[in-house]
Structure 1
Amino acid sequence: MLVDDAVALVPSIPGRRAVLGLAGAPAAGKSTLARRLVSGVDARLGADTAAYVPMDGFHLSNAQLDRLGLRGRKGAPETFDVDGYVHLLRRLRDAPPERPVYVPDFDRRLEEPVAAGLVVLPQVRLVVTEGNYLADDGPGWEQVRALLDELWYVDTPRQVRERRLLRRHVRGGRSESEARAFIAASERPNARRVERGRDRANRIVVPGRQL
């Protein structure tokens, strides 16, 4: 089971935290799986053994996207602060765990990052991080893979993902036609790019079958 394998990572990295990454296309179920793994590890080994750190907290704000002319490409690799994400991974992985580390979250209702929305406490021994581009080899992103002790690719059929994306964007305020247009223009190309990194993962995970 996936929780068993996540638990096994905890004592396997002496002297520092272990970092497990979950990659996959938009709406593959990465955040749901990450939270379930954190809950499962904590249930086995005690509260605050694991912590959840989403890459989505490093979305550029809508104001910055507007400044850069990238609002219509939101979710593409260039719409994230990859250097900030890499710096955080290094800090969580290698720095002595003496104080809490506050990390950004992402509010899907606001469609904006939220500073210090989450915290990694000093006693945390496993960080579960997830995002589209953890297996990407583009500028900046190519540093991420080496900072992950394991990388799992969450593989969900396109039809399922796009149904989820449609619901997500409609709830976020787009009309159905606007949501479909955004999926075709942005989400689908992003998914194709994500899929190119599939072979860099240690394992392929099909949600619902292995937890």
Structure 2
Amino acid sequence: MLVDDAVALVPSIPGRRALLGLVGAPAAGKSTLARRLVAGVDERLGAGTAAYVPMDGFHLANAQLDRLDLRDRKGAPETFDVDGYVVLLGRIRAERTRPVYAPDFDRRVDEPLAAALVVPPGTGLVVTEGNYLADDGPGWSQVRDLLDELWYVDTPRRLREQRLLRRHIRGGRTPEEAHDFIAASERPNARRIEASRAHCTRVVDPRG
């Protein structure tokens, strides 16, 4: 059971902290699995033992994407503040006496939210997830060195794209616009992410 493996990552020495990364293609179920692992660890070891910090909080704001003419590529590696994400992971590893605040992403408004999440001082395991944690691109290659383990979340393409279609329609796109965005952006991103799985510690089924 994946919760058992997450519990095993929690350091036995007080004051120590481990970071677990989950990587996978869009709509693979990374955020759902991350939240399940955090809840499972807290249930076993006590509330506040684990915390969740998604990479999606480092999406560039839509205003920046418009300035860079990248709105139609939203979700690609260049549409994230990777340097900010790397700095945050470093702070999470180093800071154990004060809370560390982190951004989240609100799908309802399709924008990041500053300081919406917190890693309390006593947290022993931080679960982070995102598309490019195993990527070799500029900035992204630093992420792996900050993680204790990196799991690749493997979900069939057909299921992922069904989820993406529903997600984009809920977000305001027409079915045709959603299909076009998946073909033009989500699939190329997925291929890049799949090519990075060799850098991961293990491959997991999010339903496991």
Same topology, TM > 0.5: yes
CA distance in 2 between counterparts of 1:173 and 1:45 reads 41
- The unaligned stretches of length 5 or more in structure 1 are none
User: Secondary structure of the equivalent of 1:47?
Assistant: coil
Q: Would you say the 8 A contact 1:101–1:121 is kept in 2?
A: yes
Letter in 2 for 1:116: A
Count residues with an aligned counterpart.
208
Deviation at 1:16, TM superposition (A): 2.9
For residues 90-109 of structure 1, the aligned pairs below 5 Å read 90-95=90-95, 97-109=96-108
Aligned to 1:120: 119
- The unaligned stretches of length 5 or more in structure 2 are none
CA distance in 2 between counterparts of 1:14 and 1:155 reads 33
CA distance in 2 between counterparts of 1:119 and 1:77 reads 24
Q: Percent identity?
A: 78
Aligned to 1:161: 160
Aligned to 1:55: 55
Deviation at 1:13, TM superposition (A): 7.3
Deviation at 1:100, TM superposition (A): 1.2
Q: Kindly report structure 1 stretches of 4+ aligned residues shifted beyond 2 Å.
A: 12-16
Q: What is the TM-score when the length of structure 1 is the normalising length?
A: 0.96
Q: Would you say the 8 A contact 1:16–1:94 is kept in 2?
A: no
Aligned to 1:111: 110
Question: Does 2:172 align with 1:170?
Answer: no
Letter in 2 for 1:104: P
Deviations 1:114-161 (A, max 9, x none): 011111111111000000000001000000001000000000011000
Give RMSD over aligned pairs.
1.1
Q: Would you say the 8 A contact 1:33–1:207 is kept in 2?
A: yes
For residues 62-101 of structure 1, the aligned pairs below 5 Å read 62-95=62-95, 97-101=96-100
User: Secondary structure of the equivalent of 2:40?
Assistant: helix
Q: What is the TM-score when the length of structure 2 is the normalising length?
A: 0.98
Aligned to 2:34: 34
